[in-house]
A and B are shown apart, each in its own frame.
Chain A
Amino acid sequence: MSGATPFQTVGPFFRFGLVFEGCDQPVGAPEGSRITIEGVIKDGAGAPVPDALLETWQADSAGRYHHPEDGRAGSEKPFDGFRRTATDPEGRFMLTTVKPGTAPGPGNRQQAPHLLVGVFARGLLTRLVTRIYFDDEAANDQDPILERVPADRVKTLVAKRIGDGRYRFDLVLQGEGETVFFAP
């Protein structure tokens, strides 16, 4: 056992502490075209989860992470690669961002455009971690992370294009169609 402080549930009453105007939106005018990702989070009975907190982290449109350890030209720019949003009473969420570019992956391979996702909720004692990929990206077929996922479950990680700049991504916490969660 490590000495790390344990996770505890975010509980049902986090909204006034964690969710602020604009934290599901880009700041300023980032390069690249804006997209929205919308969806529903459901539980093992197919009921919407109205009290989930969703956080995403992503590269910019050139695939750079704005973080000191990326180190490529341009990665030092201030960028809001982080989004946070909560589900509404019908379990729906929506966030606005730019589509990330391909990013470096293991073994000198590239990762297809993706967002990392953290899910917190009442009834979740820790954070669940998953990824959002996009169904209009051919690079998914060579993605070094997706290839570790059982083929019949890959679709749970891929957002569907439903319009111009609009994508749909649903999460199922349990049961049939259960979203793939990761342990990195």
Chain B
Amino acid sequence: MTGLRRYRPIPNGTHPPNDFAEYGSTKLRHPKQPPVSIPQTLSEITGPVSGFERFGPLEIDLTMQHVAPAQGERIIVEGRVLDEDGKPIPHTLVELWQANAAGRYRHDADQHDAPLDPNFSGAGRTATDADGRYRFVTIKPGAYPWRNHANAWRPAHLHFSLFGPSFLTRLITQMYFPGDPLLPHDPIFNSLSDEAARQRMVCTFDFALTKPEWALGYRFDMILRGRNATPTEVEE
């Protein structure tokens, strides 16, 4: 077959290590063997880009999924999904899930003593437009305790899941809020040793996006693994 346009190598420090002792749950779950390096084949440079209808309808307003509005501070989160060259990634699925305003997830295993909101499920999904843009309306999630270490609290965060054009562009990340006093104490956020890498997970407050007397606006762009400009034969 002819050459494939392959995805670029991932430089060290781009993603967290799986072996990261400060996050206790990694201890028995990170592989001890280094990953085996393999060439990218047609299997990897393709990936799920359609057929997401079966996941259900698009849900971009998480505050209005029930009979009454959700409790909490309404926010708008808008941004673009881009590749490493700044090119927009159009028509790709963006999934979002989160805790409610009190810091409680709608999940059986969440035992935090904080109320569930009957009017807030905490999950949404959308697709980017032709310019790679997405937008959600939701509630600012609360911080919540966890048992990683003494008096451990997760900073407020949204979970995002993205696909992009191939199996190799898949990303699951978390979006944090600027100025959160818990950020310096959170081992998951600080699993990235580089300040610039950490800041790529923090949204920015944006007055232009803020709707008067309705909701604060936050901007959050997400950048997926980049790609070579031209096809190459396999590196042997």
Q: Which residues of A contact B (CB under 8 A)?
A: 1-18, 20, 22-23, 27, 43-45, 47, 49, 51, 55, 57-59, 65-70, 78-82, 103-108, 111, 114, 116, 118, 120-129, 144-145, 148-149, 173-175, 178-184
Contacts and interface: CB of A to CB of B under 8 A. Distances in A.
A2 B10 contact: yes
Contacts of B222: 5
Nearest to B124: A17
Nearest to A131: B43
Interface in B6-47: 8, 10-18, 20, 23, 25-33, 35-47
B54 A23 contact: yes
17 contacts: A4-B226, A6-B15, A7-B15, A7-B16, A8-B174, A13-B107, A16-B97, A18-B95, A44-B32, A67-B166, A104-B41, A111-B43, A125-B23, A127-B172, A145-B39, A173-B28, A173-B31
Contact of B41 (A68, A111, A120): A111
A8 B30 contact: no
Interface residues on B, range: 35 or more
A125 B43 contact: no
What are the 10 tightest A-B residue pairs by CB atom distance, in nearest-first order?
A17-B97, A123-B25, A106-B234, A82-B48, A67-B46, A123-B29, A183-B35, A65-B46, A44-B28, A125-B16
Given A3-B223, A17-B159, A106-B234, A10 B172 contact: yes
B113 to A, nearest CB: 16
B18 A108 contact: no
A57 B48 contact: yes
Contact of B172 (A8, A58, A68, A111): A8
A17 to B, nearest CB: 3
Given A16-B105, A16-B107, A16-B122, A6 B173 contact: yes
A119 B189 CA distance: 20
A65 B44 CA distance: 10
B30 A4 contact: no
Nearest to A46: B28
B38 A184 contact: yes
B228 interface: no
Contacts of B46: 57, 65, 67, 69-70
A17 B95 contact: yes
B123 interface: yes
A183 B16 contact: no
Given A12-B110, A184-B37, 18 more contacts: A4-B15, A5-B201, A5-B222, A6-B14, A7-B16, A16-B122, A18-B161, A22-B54, A47-B28, A57-B167, A58-B43, A123-B26, A123-B28, A123-B30, A125-B23, A148-B37, A173-B29, A181-B31
B96 interface: yes
Best-buried of A69, A144, A145 by chain B (most CB within 10 Å): A69
Contacts, number: 245
Secondary structure type dominating chain B contacts: loop
B180 interface: no
Contact of A67 (B25, B32, B37, B49): B49
A108 B1 contact: yes
B50 interface: yes
Nearest to A123: B25
Contact of A125 (B17, B50, B55, B159): B17
Interface string B76-93: 000000001000000000
Contacts of B54: 20, 22-23, 27, 80
B139 interface: no
Contacts of B123: 16-17
A146 to B, nearest CB: 10
Nearest to A15: B107
